[in-house]
Amino acid sequence: MKIIKKKRKEKVIKLNKKIKRKSKNNSYQLRLIVPAALLIIIMAMFVLLKPAFIGYFAFENVSSYTQDIDAVFVESSDYLLELEHKGELKSFKLSGSIISNGTAKVYLETDNESYLVFDSTALEKEGISGITGLAVGEFNETE
């Protein structure tokens, strides 16, 4: 009887060790699964929400100026903007509204090069996540 009890006890000890090893492996796997799941969720958010990180970081001392033009355009027009504060133009912002079925395109022209910086028809297209200047590539335009 003692031999059988001893063998059973040894078997129970072996089984307990096996269980501990498996639970250690499971906890190790759980430690890997949680960060992997978080990484997948974050990547899915980037793909599905299409965030735009344009203009969030500025690493230099920049002066900013505001210049109101208060212009109303009723038909296709050109407007020459003379800057009140001379210097190198690194960025600009414009605001306004389009009434009825109107459309608007804004070009920035410099040194015989023309950049499309705003196109109201692009706002109607599905999937645009923000206006980033639309100046992804350079093109020359002659009129």
Same-domain status, 40 and 62: no
Do the Cβ atoms of 15 and 23 come closer than 8 Å?
Answer: no
pLDDT the model gives residue 60: 66
Closest by Cα among 116, 105, 123, 118 to 140: 116
pLDDT the model gives residue 17: 82
Same-domain status, 33 and 75: no
Structurally, how many domains does the chain consist of?
2
Residues 48/49/53/55 CA torsion (nearest 10 deg): 150
Same-domain status, 23 and 87: no
Domain that holds residue 85: 55-143
Same-domain status, 23 and 62: no
pLDDT the model gives residue 39: 92
pLDDT the model gives residue 40: 92
Mean pLDDT (10-residue bins), the chain, 143 residues: 78 83 71 87 80 59 82 86 82 82 84 84 60 47 47
Same-domain status, 82 and 121: yes
